[in-house]
Structure 1
Amino acid sequence: MEQSIIKETRWMAFFLTLAMCIQRISIAAGNICFGISILVFLYLVWKLRKSGQPIWQSLSQDTKRYIKVLVILVICLIPSVIFSYNPKESIKLVAEMWLYRVLPMLMIVCFIRDKQLLMKMLGAFLIAEIADSMVAMYQSFVLGVDRAWGFGSNTLNLPGILVFLIPITIMLALEKSIPFSLRRLASITLVFTGIAIILGKSRGAWLLLTFLIPFITWKYIRTHRVYLIGLILVVLCGVTLFATNQSYQQRLYSTVNMTTDRSNADRVLVWQSAIKMIVDHPVVGVGPAQFKDVYNNQGYVSPENTQKLAHTHNNVLEITTESGLLGGGALVLCFLYLIIKELRLTISGSIMARMRLSVLLGVMLFGMIDYTLDESTLVKTMWFIIGILLSLDDNNDGSIEGKIPINE
Structure 2
Amino acid sequence: MSGLKRLASSRAVKDTIYLSILMEAFFIGLSQTTAIVFMGIGIALFLLRWWKDPDFHVKRTTFHWPIIVYLLCSAASILVSPDKVYTLTIWFVLVVIYLLTYVLVTQNLENSRHVRLLAYSLGASAAIIVAYGFFQFIFGIDTSEMKWVDGEAFPELSKRVFSTLENPNILAAYLDVVVCVLLGLFGTLSDKRLRIALGIAIVCTLGCIAMTYARGACLTIAVIMAGYGVLKDKRILVAVAVLVAGFLLLNPVLFERMSTMFTVVDTSSEMRIAMWESTIQMILDHPLLGIGGGAYSLVYPIYDTYIVDGSVTLVHAHNIYLNYLAEIGIVGGCAFLVFFLGYTVTALHPQKTMPDEFSKGLMLGLGLGLVSVALNGLTDDVLYNVPSSMLLWMICGLVYVMKEKI
TM-score grouping bracket, smaller chain normalisation = 0.7 to 0.9
How many residue pairs get aligned? The number is: 377
Letter in 2 for 1:85: P
Matched, 1:142 2:155: no
How far the C-alpha of 1:353 sits from its partner, in A, is 5.0
Q: Deviations over 1:342-386 (max 9, x none)?
A: 45x238786365344323322222112111222110111122233
Q: Deviations over 1:172-223 (max 9, x none)?
A: 233238x9997676445323322211111111111111222233455641xx
1:361 is matched with which residue?
A: 371
Give me the whole-angstrom Cα distance separating, in 1, the residues matched to 2:197 and 2:382: 27
Matched, 1:370 2:375: no
1:290 is matched with which residue?
A: 295
How far the C-alpha of 1:309 sits from its partner, in A, is 1.6
Structure 1 residues 53 and 181 mapped into 2: Cα distance closer, same or farther (>3 Å)?
Answer: farther
Question: Do the aligned residues in 2 keep the contact of 1:105 with 1:387 (CA within 8 Å)?
Answer: yes
Matched, 1:212 2:217: no
Of residues 125, 130, 137, the one that matches 2:122 is 125
Give me the whole-angstrom Cα distance separating, in 2, the residues matched to 1:47 and 1:184: 48
1:189 is matched with which residue?
A: 201
Q: Which 10-residue stretch deviates more, 195-204 or 303-312?
A: 303-312
Matched, 1:319 2:332: no
Q: Deviations over 1:204-261 (max 9, x none)?
A: 111111222233455641xxxxxx3354134213213213432011110121231x41
Please provide the CA RMSD for this pair.
2.9
Question: Do the aligned residues in 2 keep the contact of 1:355 with 1:389 (CA within 8 Å)?
Answer: no
Letter in 2 for 1:302: T
Question: Do the aligned residues in 2 keep the contact of 1:126 with 1:185 (CA within 8 Å)?
Answer: no
Q: Deviations over 1:138-197 (max 9, x none)?
A: 1112216521111133222211212222111111233238x9997676445323322211
2:145 is matched with which residue?
A: none
Letter in 2 for 1:106: V
Give me the whole-angstrom Cα distance separating, in 2, the residues matched to 1:324 and 1:118: 35
Letter in 1 for 2:370: L
Give me the whole-angstrom Cα distance separating, in 2, the residues matched to 1:353 and 1:128: 19
Give me the whole-angstrom Cα distance separating, in 2, the residues matched to 1:186 and 1:45: 39
Give me the whole-angstrom Cα distance separating, in 2, the residues matched to 1:181 and 1:121: 22
Q: How does 1:159-238 map to 2 (within 5 A)?
A: 159-176=172-189, 186-218=198-230, 220-221=232-233, 228-238=234-244
Matched, 1:54 2:70: no
Give structure 1 stretches of 5+ with no counterpart. 222-227, 397-408
Letter in 2 for 1:319: Y
Matched, 1:346 2:350: yes
Give me the whole-angstrom Cα distance separating, in 1, the residues matched to 2:46 and 2:80: 33
1:72 is matched with which residue?
A: 69
Q: Which 10-residue stretch deviates more, 305-314 or 135-144?
A: 305-314
Letter in 2 for 1:33: F
Q: Deviations over 1:73-109 (max 9, x none)?
A: 2234343233333333323323433552132232122
Structure 1 residues 335 and 199 mapped into 2: Cα distance closer, same or farther (>3 Å)?
Answer: same
Of residues 153, 156, 164, the one that matches 1:151 is 164
Question: Do the aligned residues in 2 keep the contact of 1:288 with 1:323 (CA within 8 Å)?
Answer: yes
Letter in 2 for 1:365: L
Question: Do the aligned residues in 2 keep the contact of 1:126 with 1:189 (CA within 8 Å)?
Answer: no
Structure 1 residues 188 and 45 mapped into 2: Cα distance closer, same or farther (>3 Å)?
Answer: farther
Of residues 371, 396, 401, the one that matches 1:386 is 396
Give me the whole-angstrom Cα distance separating, in 1, the residues matched to 2:79 and 2:65: 22
Q: Deviations over 1:92-135 (max 9, x none)?
A: 32343355213223212212213223212211211111110011
Matched, 1:249 2:255: yes
Matched, 1:266 2:263: no
Give me the whole-angstrom Cα distance separating, in 2, the residues matched to 1:181 and 1:91: 51
Structure 1 residues 131 and 250 mapped into 2: Cα distance closer, same or farther (>3 Å)?
Answer: same
Give me the whole-angstrom Cα distance separating, in 2, the residues matched to 1:136 and 1:374: 21
Structure 1 residues 304 and 370 mapped into 2: Cα distance closer, same or farther (>3 Å)?
Answer: same
- Aligned-pair identity (%): 19
Give structure 2 stretches of 5+ with no counterpart. 1-5, 143-158, 355-359
Give me the whole-angstrom Cα distance separating, in 2, the residues matched to 1:166 and 1:123: 14
Give me the whole-angstrom Cα distance separating, in 2, the residues matched to 1:17 and 1:285: 36
Structure 1 residues 26 and 341 mapped into 2: Cα distance closer, same or farther (>3 Å)?
Answer: closer
Letter in 1 for 2:403: D
Q: Looking at both structures, which has the greater relative contact order when contacts are Cα pairs under 8 Å and sequence separation is at least 6? A: 1
Question: Do the aligned residues in 2 keep the contact of 1:278 with 1:321 (CA within 8 Å)?
Answer: yes
1:405 is matched with which residue?
A: none
Question: Do the aligned residues in 1 keep the contact of 2:180 with 2:366 (CA within 8 Å)?
Answer: no
Give me the whole-angstrom Cα distance separating, in 2, the residues matched to 1:359 and 1:46: 35
Matched, 1:302 2:305: yes
How far the C-alpha of 1:341 sits from its partner, in A, is 4.5
Give me the whole-angstrom Cα distance separating, in 2, the residues matched to 1:378 and 1:234: 26
2:286 is matched with which residue?
A: 281
Question: Do the aligned residues in 1 keep the contact of 2:8 with 2:52 (CA within 8 Å)?
Answer: no
Give me the whole-angstrom Cα distance separating, in 2, the residues matched to 1:55 and 1:319: 29
Structure 1 residues 53 and 14 mapped into 2: Cα distance closer, same or farther (>3 Å)?
Answer: closer
Question: Do the aligned residues in 2 keep the contact of 1:314 with 1:370 (CA within 8 Å)?
Answer: yes
Matched, 1:108 2:105: yes
The two structures have a TM-score, normalised by structure 2, of 0.82
Give me the whole-angstrom Cα distance separating, in 2, the residues matched to 1:190 and 1:324: 39
Structure 1 residues 113 and 333 mapped into 2: Cα distance closer, same or farther (>3 Å)?
Answer: closer
Structure 1 residues 335 and 27 mapped into 2: Cα distance closer, same or farther (>3 Å)?
Answer: closer
Q: Deviations over 1:272-304 (max 9, x none)?
A: 2222222332322221122111223xx322244
Structure 1 residues 41 and 215 mapped into 2: Cα distance closer, same or farther (>3 Å)?
Answer: farther
Question: Do the aligned residues in 1 keep the contact of 2:184 with 2:365 (CA within 8 Å)?
Answer: yes
